[in-house]
Amino acid sequence: MWWCFGRSRPAWRKFAVSFPSAPAARSRWGGQILPRRWLSSQPDLRELFARPALRRFLDQHCQPEEQPGGFRSALAARIRLLGDKEEELRETERLAREDENEDLRKLAEKEIISCEEEIEELRHQIVSLLIPSAETDKNDLVIEVTSGVGGLEAMLFTAEMFDMYQQYAAYKNWTFDTLTYTSSVIGGLRHASASIKGLEAYGQLKFEGGVHRVQRVPKTEKQGRIHTSTMTVAILPQPNEITLTINPKDLCIETKRASGAGGQHVNTTDSAVRIVHIPTGIVSECQQERSQIRNKEKAMELLQAKLYSIKLEEQTAKIHTARKIQIGTKGRSEKIRTYNFPQDRVTDHRIGKSVHHIQRFMLGEELLDEMIESLRRYSEYEVLMEVISENDASRPK
With the C-alpha atoms ordered 367, 373, 376, 377, is the resulting torsion angle positive or negative? negative
What is the chain's percent helix, strand, coil content, to nearest 5?
Answer: 45, 20, 35
Question: What pLDDT shows up at residue 362?
Answer: 96
The pLDDT assigned to 18 comes to 29
What CATH number should be reported for the domain whose range is 141-238+334-383? 3.30.70.1660
Averaged pLDDT of the chain: 76
Q: Using the predicted structure, report yes or no on whether residue 85 has a pLDDT greater than 50.
A: yes
Strands 210-216 and 335-340: parallel
Percentage of the chain beyond pLDDT 90 is 26
pLDDT at 13: 32
Q: Is 100 exposed, middle or buried (0-12, 13-18, 19+ CB in 10 A)?
A: exposed
Task: Report yes or no: 194 and 182 within 8 Å, Cβ to Cβ.
Answer: no
Residue with the bigger pLDDT between 109 and 242: it is: 109
% of the chain beyond a pLDDT of 70: 74
Please tell me if the domain spanning 141-238+334-383 has the same topology as the one spanning 248-317.
Answer: no
pLDDT band at residue 34, thresholds of 50, 70 and 90? very low
Q: Which of 22, 12, 21, 5 is nearest to 309 (CA)?
A: 12
- Listed by start position, the domains of the chain span 45-130, 141-238+334-383, 248-317
Other beta carbons within 10 Å of 304: 22
Cα 299 from Cα 284, distance rounded (Å):
5
CATH class belonging to 248-317: alpha beta
**Would you state the pLDDT for residue 241?**
57
